[in-house]
Amino acid sequence: MDRPDGRKKDELRPVSIERDFIKTADGSVLITVGDTKVICTAKVEDKVPPFLRGQDKGWVTAEYSMIPSSTQIRKSRDRGRSSIDGRSVEIQRLIGRALRSVIDLEKLGERTIWVDCDVIQADGGTRTASITGAYVALRDAINKLIESGDLAENPISSPVAAVSVGVPAESDEALLDLCYLEDSGAQVDMNVVMNGNDEIIEIQGTGEERPFGIDELNELLDLARKGIKELHQVQENA
């Protein structure tokens, strides 16, 4: 089956990561994955949330949002915590967990790193692009703390990146990195987060239109592993 953009089944969309995209952030990137574009920033704050105070450890947290014109149909803004939509909450918690999985919070000391992911153009895979870009922004913020002498030791243990995989509506073929057209009617839809040691941090997998078997799951995970290896390379190059 031909993909809408002519890619092979195991081919990522073109990916680029532009660093230092926002001057006022401690780390920032524009990540582009095909037509999906996300600005990821990291900002350091010298305090921690109340539940961590006095414990000599830090915190990394994420927020995610889509700007109104990032989608085909205008997406209303999230306004404050009371009206933030459930999808955004789910995604920002995923991003936060992914980043915390590769950082030693004790080595970070009593400070919070806020990672903000703002989707400026959405064409599928915005949460996975956010994670892949956010890691680079986080690493830049950490490097700044090390350079200024505020941190003695690097708290990051590994890179982390994410990709989507799935089975589209039209065929039973497993595909890497779905664009919106492929994602919107997918039979099976999965987001995979992995570290630099080929280990899984999180899998969000759904049999949207039908259940799927373990063999199919393994095939999807193999595709994700291949894609994430390439994404780690893009992060390293950036």
Rounded to a whole number of angstroms, the minimum distance from the CB of residue 125 to ligand UDP is 5
Rounded to a whole number of angstroms, the minimum distance from the CB of residue 180 to ligand UDP is 4
Rounded to a whole number of angstroms, the minimum distance from the CB of residue 35 to ligand UDP is 9
Whether the Cβ atoms of residue 238 and residue 136 lie closer than 8 Å to each other = yes
Rounded to a whole number of angstroms, the minimum distance from the CB of residue 123 to ligand UDP is 5
Tokens of 113: 């790193």
Question: For ligand UDP, which is the closer residue by CB, 155 or 166?
Answer: 166
Rounded to a whole number of angstroms, the minimum distance from the CB of residue 170 to ligand UDP is 17
Q: Running DSSP on this structure, what letter comes out for residue 25?
A: S
Burial class (CB in 10 A: 0-12, 13-18, 19+), 28: buried
Question: For ligand UDP, which is the closer residue by CB, 26 or 116?
Answer: 116
- Please give the sequence-ordered ranges of beta strands (E in DSSP) within the chain, or none if there are none: 15-19, 27-33, 36-45, 59-66, 112-121, 160-167, 175-176, 188-195, 200-207
Whether the Cβ atoms of residue 31 and residue 16 lie closer than 8 Å to each other = yes
CA pair distance 175, 177, nearest whole angstrom: 7
Position of tokens 């009617």? 185
Question: For ligand UDP, which is the closer residue by CB, 108 or 201?
Answer: 201
Residue ranges binding ligand UDP (CB under 6 A)? 71-72, 75, 87, 122-127, 164, 180, 183
